[in-house]
A and B are shown apart, each in its own frame.
Chain A
Amino acid sequence: MKSYEKNTSVFRDFIKDYNFVLLLQGDYKDHPGYDIANLVEYNLKLYYPKGIIKRLTYLVIEAIQNIERYSLHNESSLDHAIIYVNKCECGIITQNTIKNKDVGALQSRLSKIENKHVDELRNMYMDALSSNEGTEKGAGLGLIDIARKTQHPLKHSFKKISEEFSTFTLEIKYAISDEHECDESINEELIHHLEDQYAGLPGGLLYFGSFSNEFLSTLLNMLKNFNNDSPVIEHAIIELVQNIKRHGHKREDDIRGYVALKTTGDEFTIDTCNELNQPRLDITVEYIDSINALSNDELNLKCLEVLQDESNPGGLGLINVAQYARPRNIEALKYEDDGNSNYIYIRTKFDNL
């Protein structure tokens, strides 16, 4: 069994427990707030009414902009956001670095809004709005407004990482439905898993959700927060994501999938996972094996041959990805859960970008 088999089980857990999961780790300098909100909106409109979506996208933008505005942007591996949506709630966890000397003031502001009734928060918000006082980069309204809109206590923590810096973690929860019991242990496992997978990496992104509509440009925009404009990576992502949309198994009128991007600085990994019906699952894995067996010259000839094949409008995507990834091979793994659910997991690594 290949070492990343556990990721197919993660995907199966996602399918079972979540509608949407997103992680973005990076320098947050390309203002990803609106792109992330777009992804949330695009996924949630499949499941929830407009009112909930509007409120959630507002919370997401406020939370992400807190990282953009207040992070020191000195350690991209320590700045991240995780957003998940399951049947009962949406969770938004943000983390960024701050100076140790600023911890006290932020702690004090958070203490003032903790466990406050919504009416008290509204009054605080109105006072802050009309006050001339504010933090250096904003009006100091964001946290109060987040607390007002979630109607759920905010959780936060500080962790000292050096004599000069700490990380600040904020956990925001918004109840979507009271019909379902929230199992907090599942969410905690998810967060631990994601933090563990991305620990120490200067950048990465994980998206689990719908692949039914076009979201590639949003995904590529978010990449700018940690990828140094590598066309190779961008082209490979386009092909792999569009493959899921074209061939992924549709369940309840939606194709869901997973794309996980990780960079160490020297190496970039793209993982994708999705449901795939037989016999396409076997055919795809065999096809990838056959591409891997080709020399570089044979692969380039194969590319020209397929490019000229007018009988099939596709067929070129994985060949292109294999060309970009050389000297490495594409790794493909199939998992047959039972008679109904088959999954394909594809890992592509790129060197020296």
Chain B
Amino acid sequence: MKIEGTKHTPEVLIDEDGLNIEIRGVSMPENAFDFYVPIIEKIEAALNSAKSISLTMEITYLNSMSNKQLLKLLKVIESSSADKKVVWRSKEDDRLIKMKGMEMKVLCPGLDIELETY
């Protein structure tokens, strides 16, 4: 499954074979709920049978509503029994996105979120 990125929403790639997920780009939709809920539901369903999951997030703008939805996604992954790999990538000089990653790490202690910079 691929959702193309727009001016306000990120590109989302879900490879269900092995459950590799990538979310990249701007995330500032007016209604983050409408954008993320179908994605979260799809991943939640796939997790029922997946043995492992890998999620990479590389967000350049993150509005507060998207922030909440991404946390919800991470909580879904955290509660699954699959092997998990989660990477939060931020630009070297973007301390805000870095800070958001650190907040996610604190709130999801069951996920060993790797914080990477590029």
Give me the interface of A with B, judged by CB distance under 8 Å. Answer: 214, 216-217, 220, 231-232, 234-235, 238-239, 242, 245-246, 303-304, 307-308, 310, 313-317, 319-320, 324
Q: Mark B1-41, 1 if CB is under 8 A from A, else 0.
A: 00000011000000000000000001010101100000000
Contact B8 A216 (CB under 8 A): yes
Contact B8 A217 (CB under 8 A): yes
Contact A307-B67, Cβ < 8 Å, known A231-B96, A234-B61, A235-B96: yes
- How far, in angstroms, from A231 to B100 measured CA to CA in the complex? 13
Chain B's nearest CB lies how many Å from the CB of A342?
23
Q: Does B42 contact A (CB under 8 A)?
A: no
| B95 surroundings in chain A (CB, below 8 A) | 231-232
Contact A239 B26 (CB under 8 A): no
Contact B106 A313 (CB under 8 A): no
- How far, in angstroms, from A348 to B33 measured CA to CA in the complex? 27
- How far, in angstroms, from A317 to B61 measured CA to CA in the complex? 13
| B68 surroundings in chain A (CB, below 8 A) | 307, 310, 313-314, 316
A-facing residues in B28-81 (Cβ within 8 Å)? 28, 30, 32-33, 61-65, 67-69, 71-72
CB<8 Å pairs between A and B, sample of 28: A214-B7, A214-B8, A216-B28, A217-B7, A220-B61, A231-B91, A231-B95, A231-B97, A235-B61, A235-B62, A238-B61, A239-B63, A242-B28, A242-B30, A242-B63, A246-B30, A304-B106, A307-B68, A310-B72, A313-B32, A313-B68, A313-B69, A314-B64, A314-B65, A316-B68, A317-B63, A317-B65, A320-B64
| A245 surroundings in chain B (CB, below 8 A) | 30
Contact B8 A313 (CB under 8 A): no
| A303 surroundings in chain B (CB, below 8 A) | 103
| A324 surroundings in chain B (CB, below 8 A) | 96
- How far, in angstroms, from A220 to B8 measured CA to CA in the complex? 11
Q: Does B94 contact A (CB under 8 A)?
A: yes
Give me the interface of B with A, judged by CB distance under 8 Å. Answer: 7-8, 26, 28, 30, 32-33, 61-65, 67-69, 71-72, 91, 93-97, 103, 106-107
Scoring A217, A231, A238, A303 by chain B CB atoms within 10 A of each residue's CB, the highest score goes to A231
Chain B's nearest CB lies how many Å from the CB of A244?
11
Chain B's nearest CB lies how many Å from the CB of A223?
12
Of the residues A214, A216, A304, contact of B107 by C-beta under 8 Å = A304
* Chain A residue nearest to B62 in the complex (CB): A235
| B65 surroundings in chain A (CB, below 8 A) | 242, 313-314, 316-317
| A246 surroundings in chain B (CB, below 8 A) | 30
Given A235-B61, A238-B28, A313-B33, 19 new contacts (CB under 8 A): A214-B7, A216-B7, A217-B26, A231-B95, A231-B97, A238-B61, A238-B63, A239-B63, A239-B64, A242-B30, A246-B30, A303-B103, A304-B107, A307-B67, A307-B71, A313-B32, A313-B68, A316-B64, A319-B64
The 6 closest A-B pairs by CB, nearest first: A316-B64, A217-B7, A317-B64, A231-B94, A231-B96, A313-B33
Scoring A232, A234, A238, A310 by chain B CB atoms within 10 A of each residue's CB, the highest score goes to A238
| B67 surroundings in chain A (CB, below 8 A) | 307, 316
- How far, in angstroms, from A319 to B26 measured CA to CA in the complex? 20
Chain A's nearest CB lies how many Å from the CB of B105?
11
Chain A's nearest CB lies how many Å from the CB of B66?
10
- How far, in angstroms, from A245 to B103 measured CA to CA in the complex? 27
| B72 surroundings in chain A (CB, below 8 A) | 310
